[in-house]
Structure 1
Amino acid sequence: MHVPNVQPPLPSDYEVHPTHPIHRVPYQLAQFWEHGVRQRAEDKTARLQAERKKQQLKTGSATGLGAGEVPRDLREATKRSPVVRTWVRSLEEPVRQFLASQQAIAETQAVAADEDADSAAEQMDSDDEEIVFVGRNGAMRELKEKKATWKHAHREVSQETVDSGMVFDSFGTDESAAFKRWLTHAISDYYGIQSRSVNLSNPTRRVVYVGLKTSQGILPSRNLPRPMWEVC
């Protein structure tokens, strides 16, 4: 009452109709219209997934097979058996030391290259720097008692296999040996480096080589991710 210019409701005001805007699209153009809408929706979804993956990588909760991501199978195995985290830590710490030393060498070479390009070129090494994880009869308690040490292993053309480098007597021959080798490969994927399994003789054993090709300048990122055993 007492409202100026008041108008009674019309019958159309009581009709049921959508509140969103309606676009009348000809039938011939409908497929092109839907394609554009679908593309925008897919782009938005991909952008949100990328932001979520970036946040997961930052917090260490990312799951996948890429660098900085923990395999889902490893997370599930860690939940079932807490000892898996101990194995991961024992295998991972020397790898981090190896990568830190390689980064220090790369930085030293870069400084030397700035000072004297000729001398830096002579210091280039074409061999592959690798870590050797050798499986023999051993137990985790022996690994804990020993200080984790490693040294460079060079692949040579005149030799079939290289048996020098970092030696771990933690793989063994029991059922967990294959799983520990898989952990080593998962660690190499986590840090974005290469790994492969090789059979050696004299004595017969299964080894895992983890390394990178310095001749091609393949080095992981300067900032190492959080330790894998902390986030798995």
Structure 2
Amino acid sequence: MTPQGPILRTLPSEEIEAWTQQTAAALSSFSITEPPRVTGVSLSIPLDDATQANVTAEERRRTSTAQTPRPRTSGDTRPRVPVRRDSLKRREALLRGNEGSRRRQRWENDRLLNNPYAQPPLPTDWEVRPTYPVHAVPYYLAPLWDARFAAENATRTAKARVSTRTEGQTDADTVGKIPKELRQKLKKAKGAKTLLQTLEKEVRVFIRDWEANRVTSTRDEFGDIDSEEEEIVFVGRSGDMSDMRDPRVSEELERAMLVLNSPADDLSASFGRWLVHSIGSYYGLRTWSVTVGDPARREAYVGIKDVPVKTSTSRQPDTLPRPLWGLV
């Protein structure tokens, strides 16, 4: 039995009751709360040289000893001590360079330092704007601009349709001149010269015959008519008894001649028709092409213009320009 047993039995009941009340009052004043939880871990990495003042001499010695390279053996497995990181101040100093150096001059020029005319950027300088000049044109002026551009376009189109002949030049001035395009194409296609000669001979024969007939008809028209050779022909109202041709049809047939006839789907014949048009331009004739028949065929014609070029009553049939095939 412990020595406290007799003591507890000797305590009076009043003291026990008082002690119990004091203990209950003391326990009621306490509160049990949960300890606060740490949400993160603070980590600070010194980047400047100010922390070097807190380093002791012993730590400097151990750090310098650890940074000194030592020969490592094959069995050495100790981890290497990491080298201290460069500070931001050192990096900025390297970017600036030494005073008076080229690097320092470039660094100051990039930042417009020591420049009395340098102005800080304004807020408007950072706005996104177009790089081209913008002209604010009212919408009510748009129809006026459209009319102006339409007139200019019509003028350009009219000038493009005008022939390349110079001002004051007539059809008579173009006769006897070799087209430049014809000369260039015949230089490349030597075999086309024979075709040009064949077509040109037919056209020259046609021109000589037409001029000879025209001169003859002119002389007959203005010549004296012998009264003894006059004949009286009676023609009925319907004109069935007349064996005379219509003068308009006869003149139209005499003023045109078929030069080239080829199938419509023959692509190689287009060059021949182009030669016919070039020959007509050289002699001052009218040329055209038509599609006739079934199956379709393309026919190239040459004809005399309404006002003959360089043609008069005193012109002889032999006065023709030099052959085109001998000049190209």
TM-score normalised by length of structure 1 = 0.49
Which of the pair has the greater relative contact order for Cα pairs under 8 Å at 6+ separation? Answer: 1
TM-score after normalising by structure 2: 0.36
Which structure would you say has the larger Rg? Answer: 2
